[in-house]
Amino acid sequence: MTRPLPAPAFPGRRAPDLPPRAEMLRAMLERDAALDGIVYVAVRTTGIFCRPSCPARKPKPENVTFFGSAKEALSSGFRPCQRCRPLEPLGHTPEPIRALLDELERDPTRRLSDADLRERGLEPGAVRRWFKKHHGMTFHAYQRGRRLARALHALADGAPVTDAAFDHGYTSLSGFQDALQAVTGRSASASRDAVVVHLARLTTPLGEMLLGATDDAVCLLEFTDRPMLQTQLERIAKRLGGALVPGINDVGRRLEAELAAYFAGELRAFQTPLLLAGTDFQERVWNELRTIPYGETRSYAEQAVRIGSPRAVRAVARANGDNRIAIVVPCHRVIGADGSPVGYGGGIWRKRYLLELERRNRADAARA
């Protein structure tokens, strides 16, 4: 399920910390949910404020003001929209959907049909739209992914192919083989050593992120609106020989809890194991990133010197851009030679936000 993380202790973003106005207008006009919870659209002609993805008729850009929090919009005299309900928690999972997800976790072999959903008082179309929005796939595709994940674990544990198939909801060996071929590119017997990467979406104060974790370590944490996300997923699958399936495991839950503590200003160093899965050079760069203290910054040139390649500044910058584990591998702490926050795949405004979050928390701790 999509899991919301708490906002930092300090209130909403000031205007300079918001994304560029052109980006906010684009999100509003295209009803892009990527900025939901990050900015709020206030319409001066109606006195109403909304999420950028609100389905209501879009106002003229000249009549729009943007805020970094619902509190700011309310304090400025705007009232919440009754269609997109911007005061409701972002990423909130409706109780009927939560019950459905819990049912699937208890028995992933279940094959719930549209008729089964109706028996539970759920409209199949509404369920499909919720899963498409929050998981990037239909409910039935989500079910198939969860079944396949359990079957892959059974294969890895040495179960016969027939048991792995029929014990996990597959009605034929050919269907099981086809499912494995589509996800792993291999036959069932060759899929025994496939690394299963569980993918879960998290809602953070900086927008939705995709978390990927094997049974042992986190290998992905990326903003879902980053253009390189699909490329990163393909690289992970190829490099690990992995199968990407929906869901969250214990490793993912551990990082989820640490992220919540980080955004609340209660955590400075992440402890969840990481699987960097890069080239030798990339991993040297990424491991060096992890040595930058909380609340401090380095230049790309300084980073190049520290890995013993002082002339490889551009290569270091490229490796930073290829980082697949945002925030935890803190590429946001690397800045330009002039001190400007340049070069962040998630957007410069997110980099500023993270640096300000850490700077404030460090200063508050020093005063305490």
Whether 43 and 134 map to the same domain: the answer is: no
In a shared domain, residues 187 and 134: yes
pLDDT by residue for the chain (368 residues), tens digit each? 444 444 443 334 444 467 889 989 998 998 887 788 788 999 999 999 999 989 888 899 999 999 988 888 888 888 888 888 887 766 667 778 888 888 887 877 778 889 988 988 888 888 888 888 777 778 888 888 877 887 777 777 777 777 767 766 676 777 777 777 677 666 666 667 778 888 888 888 888 889 999 989 999 999 988 888 888 888 888 888 878 888 888 999 999 999 999 998 899 999 999 999 899 999 999 999 999 999 999 999 999 999 999 999 999 999 999 999 999 999 999 998 888 888 888 888 888 889 988 998 888 888 76
CATH of the domain at 180: 1.10.10.60
Q: What are phi and psi of 79, to 5 degrees?
A: -110, 150
Same domain? For 315 and 337 the reply is yes
Q: Is 351 inside any structural domain?
A: yes
Q: Is residue 241 situated within a structural domain?
A: no
CATH of the domain at 30: 3.40.10.10
Q: Are strands 218-223 and 79-80 parallel, antiparallel or unpaired?
A: unpaired
The 3-state DSSP class for residue 317 equals helix
pTM metric for this prediction:
0.72
Is 17 part of any domain? yes
Could you say which DSSP state residue 213 is in? E
Whether residue 189 lies inside any domain: the answer is yes
CA dihedral sign, ordered 168, 169, 173, 179: negative
The rounded distance, in Å, linking the Cα atoms of 111 and 143 is 7
Domain boundary residue, one of 80, 112, 143: 80
Residue 9 lies in a domain: yes
Catalytic sites, residue numbers: 50, 331
Residues 179 and 102 grouped into a single domain: yes
Q: For residue 282, is it within any domain? A: yes
Distance between CA atoms of 149 and 156, rounded to whole angstroms?
Answer: 11
What's the domain range around 30? 3-80
CB of 39 within 8 A of CB of 19? Answer: yes
